[in-house]
Every structure is written in structure tokens, then in C-alpha cells.
Amino acid sequence: MPTDYILFVHGVKTRKQEDFRVLADGLFNRIKSSVRDQSRVLKPIVFFWGDLNQSAQDELLNGFKASSKWTDFWFQDFRTQQVLGFVGDAALYLSRHVGSQVVQRFERDVLGMLQNTAPGDRLHLVTHSWGTVILFDLLFAARWEDPRLDSKIRQTVQDIRNALFGLPPIVGSGIPIASIHTMGSPISLFSLLTISGTVGGASTHDLSLNLKTLLEQLYNLRKRPVPWRNFSHAGDPIAYPLEGVIPLLLNAASQYVETQDVITDKGNFFNRPFQQQLIPVLWGGDAHGSYWNNEIVSQTIAEVIRAT
């Protein structure tokens, strides 16, 4: 019986694997109960990377606290729990050391399942927050092809990409991606790398070239665009709309993907008068973590799986 694999990738500030497993299992079970398709098997793949950054961020935080002026800074909890969590995870992943550890973790926990699929199987991506950028960088960014990079890491990245249908250099084998679901994602900001690359030379972090190739190959296989649902809570400061950005990121290749922005929650009624001010940002962490338990998210993903 054909299998629909659902790959879950978490975002920032997720430090315990068991906590993420609870969130991913809960969302998976709600999706499964909503799909109700007895002709296919649904199977989760849970990718956890959040512990790889913890020691470096702890060291940095101790450095902050060692300053004689640290107590004079406002919003200490917001700085250390929100800003440091997001920016720290981003900066550390973009470093080759932690980025290579993520590659090795993906090989250990995910690659084997993707390589052992059967004809008719499909893959659905469900990513949260910075996890979207991590997965897309791993699959599409040119920086992993740099000859100065350790040869074992380069080969591992190539093996990961070869496990997916449509990625070069082997575009005709591997499991096809049937849908993409991003939650509270800043991936829209990466269109700036594409735009800057047109005037200053291609960026090694540019995702667009390989993503275009993947989507075109999937379109040729499926004869229809790949559905992409971008979930955003109105009060989530990390989430950005995607529908109008995809043409900037993909140009003509945007025809190969069918993108919809989905608002999961318009926010607390009492906060709406302040929606364009800084005050609601202080509650943005709750909004940013809300997607895993949101019924709109699970039902929408289930509807897409049924339709594909």
C-alpha cells in the first residue's frame, strides 16, 4: 500500500527532543484522523536539531550577564528568550560547524527512511519557523557544494538530495514531494538573497536555483503545481506572507507551485487596537508556537493530502 511520509521539522528554541516529539505526534494524529483515506498509509518522520546550538548560546548568555551594565538593559526576558533564541539559532546554523552537525543528524535520523521508500510513496514537508530555512538550505543552497567544505559533508548533502525526486544531478529518482507546509516561517526574507544576487553575484545561500529545478521536475511528473500552504498567526512577528513573494523568489518557475497564505488566528481581541505597535510583540512567542495545536493547520494539511 502506498505511503505518505510527513516530515516534521521544528523551529527555534526547541531544546528537548521529547517535547518536540509530543508536538509533532499530536499534529500528525490530528492530520491522520482528518485524512480518512484507507487506500494510503500515513507515516511521520520527526527531525530534531534543537540541542546542537544550546551550549554556544549558554556561553553567550553568560557573557551578557558578566557585563557590569547588563542589569540596565530593558526587556531582558525578551532579549534572552525571544531574540537570542531566534537570532542565535539562525547564526549558529549558518556557521559551517553547527550546520555540518545538522547535516549529520539528518543523515542519521531521516535519510534512511527516505532512501527506503517504494514506488507510489510521497513526501509532505511540514516545517516550523527557522526549521523551514534549515531544511530548504540543506536541500537547495549552493554553499553545500563548496569544494572547501569537508568532502564527507558534501557527499552526505548530495546523498540527501539524491533521495528526493527532482534535485540535481539525479533528477529522475527518489521520493517526490507532494506538498509543502510552512508554519510561522521567515522563508520570505530569503527572497532578498535572490534579489541581491542579481546585482552582486549569486549568493551561496540563495535557494532559488535548485528549488526551481525541483518544482519544475515535480510539475512535469504530476502535471500540476505543487501545493504550498504558508500558515501565519497574525500576532507572530516571525511569520511573513508568501503568496506575493514567490514570484520574486522563483520568477517564471512560480507557475510550478500553487501557494496560499493561511491565517490561523487573528489574535487576541484586546490586542487588536495595538496591532501595529510594539506591545503585542511581547506576546509574540505564544503566537509563534501555536501552530502545532491549531485545528486550521491540521485540517488544511489533511485536505491537501487528500487532494494530492
- pLDDT-derived band at 74, boundaries 50, 70, 90: confident
Q: What are the tens digits of pLDDT across the range 34-69? A: 998 888 899 999 999 988 876 666 777 778 778 888
Tell me the pairing of strands 226-233 and 177-183.
parallel
Q: What are the tens digits of pLDDT across the range 119-176? A: 999 999 999 998 998 899 999 988 898 898 899 999 999 999 999 999 987 777 899 9
Whole-number average pLDDT of the chain: 85
Percent of the chain with pLDDT over 70: 82
Whether the predicted pLDDT of 114 surpasses 70: yes
Whether the predicted pLDDT of 244 surpasses 90: yes
Q: What are the tens digits of pLDDT across the range 8-29? A: 999 887 889 999 999 999 999 9
CA neighbours within 13 Å on the CB side: how many for 217? 20
CB atoms near residue 108 (< 10 Å): 10
Verdict on whether the full-model pTM lies above 0.95: no
Q: Is the peptide bond before 169 cis (omega within 30 degrees of 0)?
A: yes
CA neighbours within 13 Å on the CB side: how many for 48? 13
Whether the predicted pLDDT of 254 surpasses 60: yes
Q: What angle is formed at CA 271 by the lines to CA 278 and CA 266, rounded to 5 degrees?
A: 105
Whether the predicted pLDDT of 259 surpasses 70: yes
Q: What are the tens digits of pLDDT across the range 162-220? A: 999 999 877 778 999 999 999 999 888 766 555 544 444 455 567 788 999 999 999 99
- pLDDT at residue 267, as a whole number: 63
